[in-house]
Copies of this chain bind each other. A is one copy, B any other.
Amino acid sequence: MSSSSAAPAAKPPMRDALVAAAFRLFVERGYEQTTVDDIVALAGVGRRSFFRYFPSKEDVVFPDHERCLADMTAFLGTGGPEHEPVRRVCDAARLVLRMYAENPAFSVQRYRLTRQVPGLRAYELSVVWRYERALADYLRGRFAGRPDGTLRADVIAAAVVAAHNNALRSWLRSDGAGDPGTAVDHALGYVHRTYGRPADTAVAAARSGPAGSDERAGRSDEVVVLVSRRDAPLWRVVQELETALGRG
Contacts and interface: CB of A to CB of B under 8 A. Distances in A.
A234 B227 contact: no
A232 to B, nearest CB: 7
A190 B155 contact: yes
A241 to B, nearest CB: 6
Nearest to A231: B222
Interface stretch (A41-49, A69-77, A88-96, A208-216): A208-216
Interface residues of A, number: 60
Interface in A189-248: 190-191, 193-195, 204, 206, 208-210, 213-214, 216-218, 221-235, 237-238, 241-242, 245-247
B125 A150 contact: no
27 contacts: A121-B126, A122-B125, A125-B125, A148-B190, A151-B187, A155-B159, A158-B162, A159-B162, A193-B235, A194-B194, A194-B195, A194-B235, A204-B216, A213-B225, A217-B229, A221-B230, A223-B230, A224-B227, A224-B228, A224-B230, A225-B227, A225-B228, A226-B241, A228-B241, A232-B245, A234-B238, A237-B245
A68 interface: no
Interface string A151-175: 1101101110111011100000000
Number of copies: 2
Contacts of A121: 126
A23 to B, nearest CB: 23
Contacts of A206: 214
A239 to B, nearest CB: 10
A129 interface: yes
A231 B218 CA distance: 11
Given A158-B161, A221-B230, 16 more contacts: A122-B125, A151-B163, A152-B190, A154-B162, A154-B165, A158-B162, A193-B235, A194-B195, A204-B216, A208-B230, A210-B213, A222-B229, A225-B225, A225-B228, A226-B228, A238-B238
Contacts of A226: 225-228, 241
Given A238-B241, A241-B238, A241-B241, A155 B191 contact: yes
